[in-house]
Structure 1
Amino acid sequence: MVLLKHKLTIIIIVWYFFSCTTLFLNKYILSYLNGDPTILGSLQLIICAICGYAHLQFPTSFLATNPIKDEVRKPVSWDNFSSNLILIGCLRYSTIILGLYALWYVPVSFAETVKSSAPVFTVFISWILIGETTTTFTKLSLIPVMSGLAICSAYELSFSFTGLVVSLSTNLSECLQNVYSKKLLRFHEPAEMQFYSSTSSLLLQIPCIFFMVDFGQVWNALMEDSNLCLSFLLSGISFHLQSLSEYLLLNFISPVTHSVANTAKRALLIWLSVIIFSNPVTYLSWLGTAIVILGVLLYNKARSYDGKTTNLVYKSIDPSHII
């Protein structure tokens, strides 16, 4: 038990650290080095696939997880490659690309505030996919989340409607990804999820890169700026470690605990982004951010109080019925 707590502490610290480095490297590449978000997202997933393959070939005990009783975990191979892993790959790619384009339009602090409204999307997704209903107490807890988000949007000095829409779309994609990932982690190891979902996303990357990227311009930029090449590489490695540590974390804690930890992480990212990038923030925008974070904490408390934690979302979905 003590060893498990120590392992969880290490995983959370690693997740927090690489979430910060990935986010700030992405913003630095897009805003200061004029990097292309499509290329950045594609390289991140390619590096994830390469590193994930290395983890599969050279497994470590730290990445191994113990299956829960009655769970059957079969090694993944190209022969039994699940269509659900392809879906996870598509959702991962869309989440990354949408998130990067959001950073292109709005400051990090605003983008992270919008992402804090994820519980709202979880409610709608669970209702649409499995018909799960929520109590009045839980619904009321979402009011401060949406109110705070509205205040942030109204008083954000660098507000962009396109950035808001893209950030909200990122939320939708990420919530869907988390729902499917949590279910699939009952049958696959985190390293397998990391490698096969990243590899399957390559199928989606090919047409996107072909139609959206000016290869000549990208090649010239890479040849002229070695700092851009290094930043791309560091961002990819950082993203790999961030997503792998999150897969590990989802294996050991409940969705409510994960949501609370994620909220605290976003609060940290918001404060650090303002300090590092020095983007101006109004007092009312700060107030809106605080209201959003408070609302998310109230939402988590309400779900726990009602006995309808988000874990029901994951346990109620049968992947074989999704595709």
Structure 2
Amino acid sequence: MEKQVNRYADEKLTLAAKSAKIAFAVASYWVISIAMVFLNKTVLSHPGTKIDAPLFVTWYQCVCTVLGCYFLGELGIGGVPRFEVRQAVLAKMLPLSAVFVAMTATNNICLKYVEVSFYQVARSLTIVFNVFLDYLILGQRTSLPAIVCLGFVIFGYALGNDQEVRWSLLGVLFGLASSFFVALNSIFVKKNLAHVDNNPWKLTLYNNLNASVLFIPLILFSGESSEILHNPTTRKALFWMLMSAGGGLGIAISFAAAAQIKWTSPLSHNVSCTAKAAAQTVLALLIYRNPVTPLGLLSIFIVLGSSLAYTLVRRSEMIATSERLPRTQPSGGSSEPVRPATRV
């Protein structure tokens, strides 16, 4: 009897410890992800710290990620491998890196022109592009229930654009581009992980190293170099503190996403991302006091709710497919692939 009581107490302690780790992982991801969006918005749009150079801001964060990977690898922290660069792998990763540059650049340019409260709606067509590209490139078909969910996402997107008070054409166009490149990036990641031994940290290193070089001509040709040299903001310590903090958060988000997936599941990670987007939108409305119409608010919830419904439908379909597989195949684990986190 005493042994049973002790075993029950140990199981209770183990469950409590696991629950605490899950809560910490989810909270960390939320805090880091939301902080990064608000910090980037401050650097790109807030008077006193603003710089009209979204490409430069993104380049700086890529450089910080490369340096972070180097030092973490040297110190042996978080499972990050030691800094090792092979030219053959760099060349193979170039197409992915080009998509990654387009994705991160259009993401920050979109954030520059739209309110944070509208940011999620402006980039909400990612899953629509994902389905389209999966069919076009990988030949994967989508079920009717999933397509219905996508229809609601498109409806919420259209309604949000119609009702947004501070609507920006450039913001919407770059939001569309960002959605497309996020979807394309996920496909390229699938195809290129094999080049880096299926190690997400190696992929992050090679991706950001290539991007650090690819961004330089873009910065020069876009005229941002003149903005960097002549804007008095770049001579303020606060500006560089914010920029460096953004770079640090860019590294931390990879750890936070990995921890959240490890202690929950890829599905729970996607659900958490949707809930985080809702919290981020509410915070933006409270902090910035952006004017919003009732229908505009409804569009946000339609987009987020439909995205969540699509995730749940796809998950149930994956489970049903795995149950139909021969029992001789190994079971266990999630049927969803774990992808490296991005700053999107």
- TM-score tier by shorter-chain length is 0.7 to 0.9
Q: Of 231, 241, 246, which residue of structure 1 is paired with 2:252?
A: 241
Q: After superposition, where does 1:154-193 map in structure 2 within 5 Å?
A: 154-181=162-189, 184=193, 187-193=197-203
Q: Which moved more, 1:178-187 or 1:201-210?
A: 178-187
Q: How many residues align?
A: 306
Instruction: Name the structure 2 match of 1:68.
Output: none
Contact map agreement 1:38 1:213 (CA 8 A) in 2: no
Contact map agreement 1:76 1:188 (CA 8 A) in 2: no
Instruction: Name the structure 1 match of 2:131.
Output: 123
Which ranges in structure 1 are unaligned for 5 or more consecutive residues?
66-72, 316-323
Separation of aligned partners in 2, 1:308 and 1:159: 41
SS of residue in 1 equivalent to 2:93? helix
Q: Which moved more, 1:31-40 or 1:114-123?
A: 114-123
The TM-score normalised by the length of structure 2 is 0.78
SS of residue in 2 equivalent to 1:81? helix
The alpha-carbon deviation at position 155 of structure 1 amounts to 0.5
SS of residue in 1 equivalent to 2:57? helix
Separation of aligned partners in 1, 2:258 and 2:186: 10
Do residues 257 (structure 1) and 268 (structure 2) align?
Answer: yes
Query: For the aligned residues, what is the CA RMSD?
Result: 3.1
Separation of aligned partners in 2, 1:85 and 1:245: 24
The TM-score normalised by the length of structure 1 is 0.83
Instruction: Name the structure 2 match of 1:194.
Output: 204
TM-aligned CA distance change 1:76 to 1:230, over 3 Å: closer
Instruction: Name the structure 2 match of 1:107.
Output: 115
Instruction: Name the structure 2 match of 1:147.
Output: 155
Deviations 1:261-315 (A, max 9, x none): 2211111111111112221111110011111111112212221233379988969
Contact map agreement 2:261 2:268 (CA 8 A) in 1: no
Instruction: Name the structure 1 match of 2:328.
Output: none
Deviations 1:134-167 (A, max 9, x none): 1111111212111111111101001122211211
User: Larger relative CO (CA 8 A, sep 6+): 1 or 2?
Assistant: 1
Q: Aligned AA for 2:30?
A: Y
Instruction: Name the structure 2 match of 1:290.
Output: 301
Do residues 64 (structure 1) and 79 (structure 2) align?
Answer: yes
The alpha-carbon deviation at position 83 of structure 1 amounts to 4.5
TM-aligned CA distance change 1:214 to 1:119, over 3 Å: closer
Bigger radius of gyration, 1 or 2? Answer: 2
Q: Of 224, 249, 270, which residue of structure 1 is paired with 2:281?
A: 270
Q: Aligned AA for 1:303?
A: R
Contact map agreement 1:194 1:244 (CA 8 A) in 2: no
Q: Of 38, 50, 55, which residue of structure 2 is paired with 1:34?
A: 50
SS of residue in 2 equivalent to 1:133? coil
TM-aligned CA distance change 1:223 to 1:267, over 3 Å: closer
The alpha-carbon deviation at position 26 of structure 1 amounts to 0.8
Determine what percentage of the aligned residue pairs are the same residue: 22
Do residues 54 (structure 1) and 71 (structure 2) align?
Answer: yes
Separation of aligned partners in 2, 1:22 and 1:162: 22
TM-aligned CA distance change 1:45 to 1:217, over 3 Å: same
TM-aligned CA distance change 1:75 to 1:125, over 3 Å: farther
Deviations 1:173-220 (A, max 9, x none): 112223343562893434323222111112211211121234343134
TM-aligned CA distance change 1:13 to 1:76, over 3 Å: farther
Q: Which moved more, 1:226-235 or 1:101-110?
A: 226-235
The alpha-carbon deviation at position 7 of structure 1 amounts to 5.2
Separation of aligned partners in 2, 1:241 and 1:20: 12
The alpha-carbon deviation at position 170 of structure 1 amounts to 0.8
TM-aligned CA distance change 1:197 to 1:246, over 3 Å: farther
Contact map agreement 2:73 2:82 (CA 8 A) in 1: no
Contact map agreement 1:222 1:229 (CA 8 A) in 2: no
Do residues 91 (structure 1) and 99 (structure 2) align?
Answer: yes
Separation of aligned partners in 1, 2:68 and 2:214: 19
Separation of aligned partners in 2, 1:207 and 1:79: 20
Separation of aligned partners in 2, 1:121 and 1:7: 34
The alpha-carbon deviation at position 51 of structure 1 amounts to 0.6
Separation of aligned partners in 1, 2:266 and 2:198: 18
